[in-house]
Amino acid sequence: MNIHPTAIVSPGAELGENVTIHPYAIIEANTQIGQGCEIGAYTVIREGTRMGPNNTVHTGVVLGEPPQDMKYSGVPTYLVIGENNHIREYVTVHRASSEGQSTRIGNDNLLMAYSHIGHDVVIGSNILLANYAGISGHCVIGDYANLGGMAGVHQYVTIGTVAMVGGASKVVRDVPPYTIADGNPARPRGINVVGLRRQQVSEEGITYLKRAYRLLFRSDLNTGDALEQIADEVEQTPQVQQLVEFMRRMGEGYRGRQADPH
């Protein structure tokens, strides 16, 4: 390991092999840092943080800070981070607010400078949060989602897989998978064609999603009638099925759709 002499590392911290810790970093007890991680200067990693291998953490990041929740009573909670994440300068991520619970971040994410992830959030994998994006407590962000700079996400919002949120958007409602949302407040603007092509979805598959989108968001049908028409008229590809299931679960509220961001 390569630990700078000015860093403060608690004897109660568990460090994997080949960890690099830069000047003036602070790592508290009851933390786990996986092998191959690099911890930037002036970073603070608080108790209850669990980090997998090969994460790169840049200058001034704060991980596992207590939640900004007036109900939090100091009980043990956690922040669990996967592997191969790039966490840029001054990012803040808070641990959960209820005893034994975790804020969770998956793998291969890029969290750009000054972005924030609040308590009890579940972040999938291969997600990009641009500069100053803010995720409030209890949100769920699906795999391959992309949030533009200064986007603000209200608590208890779910953003589906391969969705894109425009910069400076105010997101107060769920964003269905494979869609683009933008505005203040944000609303669906179309299908995320670029993201779908990156996921190697066929042009035919994208066409089916466009048909489903038009029935849901560009017709005079209510959601229930639109879903029935999609079932009758649109090819039930995996992506169409996931969009339909997401729309059905939206009516169940946060508890009905929070389990899995993938």
Domain ranges, ordered by start, for the chain: 2-191, 197-256
47 vs 9, 35, 68, 159, 197, CA distance in Å? Answer: 12, 18, 16, 29, 41
Per-residue pLDDT at 182 = 98
From the list 22, 119, 138, 195, the catalytic residue is 119
Per-residue pLDDT at 260 = 55
Mean pLDDT (the chain) is 96
Per-residue pLDDT at 164 = 98
Instruction: Judge whether 119 counts as a catalytic residue.
Output: yes
Instruction: Judge whether 137 counts as a catalytic residue.
Output: yes
Residue 139 has pLDDT above 60, yes or no: yes
Per-residue pLDDT at 256 = 45
- Per the CB < 8 A criterion, the answer to whether 205 and 243 are in contact is no
The Cα–Cα gap between 15 and 35 comes to: 7
The Cα–Cα gap between 86 and 49 comes to: 16
The Cα–Cα gap between 77 and 101 comes to: 5
From the list 106, 137, 152, 195, the catalytic residue is 137
Fold of 2-191: UDP N-Acetylglucosamine Acyltransferase; domain 1 (2.160.10)
From the CB of residue 220, how many other CB atoms can be counted at a distance below 10 Å?
A: 6
From the list 48, 52, 116, 120, the catalytic residue is 120
Q: What percent of the chain has pLDDT over 70?
A: 95
Interval 206-234 mean pLDDT = 97
180-189: pLDDT as tens digits: 999 999 999 9
Residue 250 pLDDT class (50, 70, 90 cuts) = confident
Instruction: Judge whether 225 counts as a catalytic residue.
Output: no
Residue 110 has pLDDT above 60, yes or no: yes
CATH class of 197-256: mainly alpha
- Per the CB < 8 A criterion, the answer to whether 254 and 244 are in contact is no
Is the pTM for the entire model greater than 0.85? yes
Residue 240 has pLDDT above 80, yes or no: yes
Per-residue pLDDT at 1 = 83
Interval 117-127 mean pLDDT = 98
